[in-house]
Amino acid sequence: MENTGKKLQVGVIGNGSISGLHLEAYRQNPDAELAAVCDLNEERAKAAAEKYGAKRVYTNYRDLLADPEIEAVSICTWNDSHAEISIAALEAGKHVLCEKPMCKTVEDAERVQDAVRRSGKLLQVGFVRRYAGSVDVLKRFIDAGELGEIYYAKATCLRRLGNPGGWFSDKSRSGGGPLIDLGVHIIDICWYLMGRPKVKSISGNTYRKLGNRAHIQNLSFYKAADYDASRNDVEDAANAVIRFENGASLIVDVSFTLHAVKDEISVKLYGDKGGAEVEPALVVMSEKHNTIVNVTPQIDHTTFDANEAFGREITHFVNSCLGRCETLSPVEDGLEVTRMLSAIYESAATGKEIQF
């Protein structure tokens, strides 16, 4: 039964690093209430419940899903459990916000899509960059035709030292390295802003040359909640060319570690009427009166701001659950992005271009 004016009762499954941004956003949302948290690590779940004011604590997600009061869940666990928990949650009648990547494999993503269709419940994929204020502004420029036909996009997300270790570098739990962890975001945001064209073919390369470089001293980097450098069987860098049926192309490269001078993030789109950079900061390029102009929208966050974007993502999820709007990142898009990621890994493994 749909919510009728009372607050949406939410559970957050997985209470590690990223869950803090979900929990804080729910805590601040006037239409949501944190009914429960759940983590395999009970101390972590208890600490999250205390900090963010969740009413109940679970260590088994099935117990949380059996809680009849809960209407919606955020899934912030390791990638290998996203499909299993999403399907169980949908079957238990809960709406789902699933962190990226939606799944490790295309088969899992198809099973999640089937569960969404069978259950009639909502699944929002955690493509948080779609919800950033700067992307919302750019989308309005693009929808109004300011870029014309976008025929080329280029995205880079390079860490020179940033293998987070723990489950991130254990392929059985993560599904891969920087491609599935970082590439998922920048491939998705380009594809979304290009108007989600149909993929024609993909060619990719992955490299395991530098290891996790846990020996490096005097330079700090992002680490998983349970950091462990002893296991690392994921790629440390990847690149790809994605061709679309409409003739457009996307070129992407990512790394957990690389002999680069510094970390780098850039997301650029080029159309026949104008261009745009989403990162490192929003700017729109075009012509006026035979002159090239670079337009800098005057907005609070011209670059990705995690607090702002997660706040907006969760507000959108809550509003979608309450029937006020449609999600911007539906399961179908999660499946298509999973197809692209899988094809890049397959192309790298076989040395061949993958036809869609």
Ligand X SMILES: NC(=O)c1ccc[n+]([C@@H]2O[C@H](COP(=O)([O-])OP(=O)(O)OC[C@H]3O[C@@H](n4cnc5c(N)ncnc54)[C@H](O)[C@@H]3O)[C@@H](O)[C@H]2O)c1
**Prior bond of 68 cis (ω within 30°):** no
Q: How far is the CB of 313 from ligand X (least distance, A)?
A: 8
Q: What are phi and psi of 16, to 5 degrees?
A: -90, -150
Distance of CA 34 to the CA centre of its chain: 22
Q: How far is the CB of 73 from ligand X (least distance, A)?
A: 11
- Closest residue by Cα to residue 207 from 250, 244, 259, 164: 259
3-state secondary structure of 319: helix
Nearer to ligand X, 227 or 245 (CB): 227
How many Å from the N-terminal Cα to the C-terminal Cα in the chain? 40
Nearer to ligand X, 109 or 248 (CB): 109
Integer Cα distance of 45 and 39 in angstroms: 5
Nearer to ligand X, 128 or 354 (CB): 128
Output helix, strand, coil percentages for the chain, rounded to the nearest 5.
35, 25, 40
Nearer to ligand X, 141 or 310 (CB): 310
Q: How far is the CB of 76 from ligand X (least distance, A)?
A: 5
Nearer to ligand X, 76 or 344 (CB): 76
Q: Name the residue number minimizing CB distance to ligand X.
A: 16
Tokens of 10: 């939410």
Beta bridge partners of 37: 12, 57
Q: How far is the CB of 27 from ligand X (least distance, A)?
A: 17
The CA-based angle 182-89-192, given to 5 degrees, is 35
Q: How far is the CB of 29 from ligand X (least distance, A)?
A: 18
Distance of CA 198 to the CA centre of its chain: 20
Integer Cα distance of 27 and 46 in angstroms: 16
Q: How far is the CB of 251 from ligand X (least distance, A)?
A: 22
Q: How far is the CB of 284 from ligand X (least distance, A)?
A: 24
Q: How far is the CB of 173 from ligand X (least distance, A)?
A: 8
Integer Cα distance of 287 and 97 in angstroms: 40
Nearer to ligand X, 286 or 315 (CB): 315
Centre a 10 Å sphere on the Cβ of residue 63 and count the other Cβ atoms it contains. 13
247 burial (CB, 10 Å; 0-12 / 13-18 / 19+) is: exposed
Nearer to ligand X, 14 or 197 (CB): 14
Q: Element (H or E) spanning 43, and its range?
A: helix 42-52
Q: DSSP assignment, residue 162?
A: -
Nearer to ligand X, 86 or 119 (CB): 86
Give contact residues for ligand X (rule: CB under 6 A). 13-19, 38-41, 44, 61, 76-79, 81, 99-100, 126, 128, 166-167, 181, 224-226
